Amino acid sequence: MFLFSSLTSFLTFLIALLMAITVHEFSHAAMADHLGDPTPRLTGRLTLNPFAHLDPIGTIMLFIFRFGWGKPVQIDPFNLQNPRRDQALISLAGPGSNLILAVFLSFLMRLMRPMGLMGLMGLMNPIILLNLALGIFNLLPIFPLDGFKIASGLLSPEQAEQWDELRPFGPLILFLLIFPFFGQSIIGQLLFPIINWLLHFLLPYGYTGI
């Protein structure tokens, strides 16, 4: 699917991008606040203002590779009752909210279809796509993605300590997976089929793939 064939498609993609990143990062902040850490609220991250959550590099990556991230939400683990478990829940809240929003919008589209609101439904297509891509990508257990801390929360304390030793290698591994060495990135070859398969269930009409 070529996203930038017209100004309309570009603006639609931009709206979808802002929504996906905002929902993702706000959910991190809201979960941290719920679990007793006021840091995101004090740093202005407990907001649905998209400009509070944009990371320049992560946003550019989304435009180029269709994988990216928002500005990381700062938390203070000393404010959490169970730091390892709570950090895993905070990490899960971001991609979890993206996947929930994608499913909700898919359900909403099915309700709207008999009404013939094709223009509004067309706007929802890229929103669902980007929320799926952002959610699934961030579940990968590679630092600094959310999946790294989620995995840590599922391990025993001893295993989590060993797991944390992989943290310094995460950015390099992520770069090697994202960079299109032979025309397509390794991560694209792995994740695009999964995303396409899910989209065929969520968008059973008018979907051409990514």
Q: What is the 3-state secondary structure (H, E, C) of the chain?
A: CCCCCCHHHHHHHHHHHHHHHHHHHHHHHHHHHHCCCCHHHHCCCCCCCHHHCCCHHHHHHHHHHCCCCCCCCCCCHHHCCCHHHHHHHHHHHHHHHHHHHHHHHHHHHHHHHHHCCHHHHHHHHHHHHHHHHHHHHHCCCCCCCHHHHHHHHHCCHHHHHHHHCCHHHHHHHHHHHHCCCCCCCHHHHHHHHHHHHHHHHHCCCCCCCC
Q: Which of 25, 158, 161, 165 is catalytic?
A: 25
- CB–CB of 195/205 below 8 Å? no
Q: Is 25 a catalytic residue?
A: yes
Please report, to the nearest 10 degrees, the dihedral formed by the alpha carbons of residues 87, 89, 92, 94 taken in order.
Answer: -80
Report, as residue numbers or ranges, the catalytic residues: 25
